[in-house]
Structure 1
Amino acid sequence: MTTKKTVGQRARRARFSAEFKQQALLKALKDGVPAAARELGLEPAQLYAWRSKAQQQGQNDEAQRLQQTELARLRRELARVEEENAFLKKAAAYFAKQPK
């Protein structure tokens, strides 16, 4: 016997923890997506979406690390240039005072 849903009723979406998703992705990597999806009672498309999101997150993390590394390098370079600039100002002032 099937029941019809009325307009006001909504299907409940299952929410899965990050740990469950990670374990499901590991199982999918080991057994293949279709087999893991069947065993876990999920749609293969759901596992593919989780995998895509995880890969994208990994790329974002890598890009962020590269940006932080570049920012640190640029800050060191800026400090070095400011130090050189301060030295050159002192040298210019010293040589401007000396009689010719």
Structure 2
Amino acid sequence: MATSRRRHTAEYRNHAVELIRESGKPIAEVARDLGINEGTLANWTNKARQSDADDEKPLTTSERAELEQFRNDYHTVRMERDFLRRAAEYFASHPK
């Protein structure tokens, strides 16, 4: 015997997606708690992410330049950190 598909309101879908975002719980756990299919909840979450991404404004020229500067600074800081980590390991393994 075939079962009819359940229809969920947009409000219910939004509430389920907010539960995932705010609780930090995995989709599978929230789906079990709500009694819905994990794949269905994953689809709702992906659609919400796409919708949020579509609402974002593109970066201005100055914002792009600032972002590029941050990326360069981040790269430099990581290189310095890695160098200091290797130096600390070297000096720890070669006592006087």
Q: TM-score, normalised by structure 2?
A: 0.50
Compare CA radii of gyration and give the structure with the larger one. 1
Q: Larger RCO: Structure 1 or Structure 2 (Cα < 8 Å, ≥ 6 residues apart)?
A: 2
